[in-house]
Amino acid sequence: METPLEVNIHNDLEVSMKQKDELRTGTLRMLLSSIHSRLIEQRGHGKTELTEEEVRDVIIKEAKKRREAAELFTSGGRTDLAEKEKKELAIVEHYLPAQASDEEVEKIVKQAVAKINPGSQKDFGKVMAEAMKELKGKADGTRVSEWIKKSLPF
């Protein structure tokens, strides 16, 4: 049984195929393929379907791949390929929750720091894990990491 998120992607794929939108069609097919691969991987662990959160995790990973590829292409002087990756990223991000504002990220990081009360740089990972519980899918890990570095006294 498919999750509502998968159903949305399938429906959007059908629409993009009718509209002959090659970029959107290709991106959605890639997304569904990644979700299907994750399902096959999970079958090895005895699971027969993915949860909504697992599907969202796959989409987060695909968005991160596009973001990193765009940065690499830009730094390599391939702006044409970087633009393609950015367009694909926009399509993929459509299926993620709305991104948290800087104020929201800062507030959640401060709450995580207060809860963990880190004594040294070694506690960075604990603070990161606590903050990402709230921000998963809403903020990129790199962005959260930067806010934690700003918030820690050492």
Per CATH, 4-93 and 102-151 having the same topology is answered no
- Is residue 2 over pLDDT 90? no
Q: What is the b/e burial string over 49-81, where b = at least 16 CB atoms within 10 angstroms of the residue's CB?
A: ebeeeebbbbbbebbebbbebbeebeeeeeeee
Tokens of 144: 């959260």
Nearest to 24 by CA among 14, 36, 34, 33: 14
Tokens of 90: 């926009």
Residue 106 to residue 100: CA distance in whole angstroms: 10
Nearest to 33 by CA among 4, 60, 9: 9
Class for the domain spanning 102-151: mainly alpha
What single-letter amino acid sits at 149? K
Q: What is the b/e burial string over 102-125, where b = at least 16 CB atoms within 10 angstroms of the residue's CB?
A: eeebeebbeebbeebebeeeeebe
Domain coordinates of the chain in residue numbers? 4-93, 102-151
Instruction: Tell me if 122 sits within 8 A of 80, measured CB to CB.
Output: no
Residue 93 to residue 119: CA distance in whole angstroms: 36
Greater confidence, 144 or 73? 73
Q: How far is CA 126 from CA 46, 93, 97, 104, 139, in A?
A: 30, 27, 24, 19, 17
Which pLDDT score is estimated for 3? 83
pLDDT in tens, 49-91: 999 989 999 999 999 999 999 999 999 999 999 999 999 999 9
CATH code of the domain made up of 4-93 = 1.10.1510.10
Which pLDDT score is estimated for 29? 98
